[in-house]
A and B are shown apart, each in its own frame.
Chain A
Amino acid sequence: MLVLTRRPGESIMVGDDVVITVLEVRGDVVRVGIAAPRSVQVHREEIYRELQAANREAASPSKAAVDSLSQLLRP
């Protein structure tokens, strides 16, 4: 991992068009601004990881489980 020291107001470039700026440091909280093209999605890591885990858990349920769910939902 690349480790850099930055002060509030200073930035880091990632590739050609992603700019990460340290906005404010207060105690153990750092506010960061990210400027990226719209095609680059930016997420908090823990939320993205949770979504990855949820999608993997949801993937390819057994046919039996789906059938029984379908039965239950039948009006």
Chain B
Amino acid sequence: MVKVTYIEHNGTAHEVEGQAGQTVMETAIKNAVPGIIAECGGACSCATCHVYVDDAWKEKTGSPSPMEEDMLDFAFDVRPTSRLSCQIRLKPELDGLVVRIPEHQN
């Protein structure tokens, strides 16, 4: 089990248990975390699963691939820690991951 905390724009925190191998997006949807839409279902095609990775986790989660960088062009208020959560796969090293959800996805 990999613990993930999603912090909404209004400050509400959702601490959920994710499974290694599943994406941060899938884990959010499965646990009804609001604010992550995932219109394309995880195909890196819509940029509506945008999150900000907490600074402490930036190195462990890694940087976006070129395909993900391209899709981030379609997100709003993109910051240096922006990622598309469908592209972050959970692993034991990410236990305790914290991500922040932007005010708007669409």
Q: Are the chains A and B members of one assembly?
A: no
Measuring CB to CB, which residues of chain B are less than 8 angstroms from any residue of chain A?
Answer: none
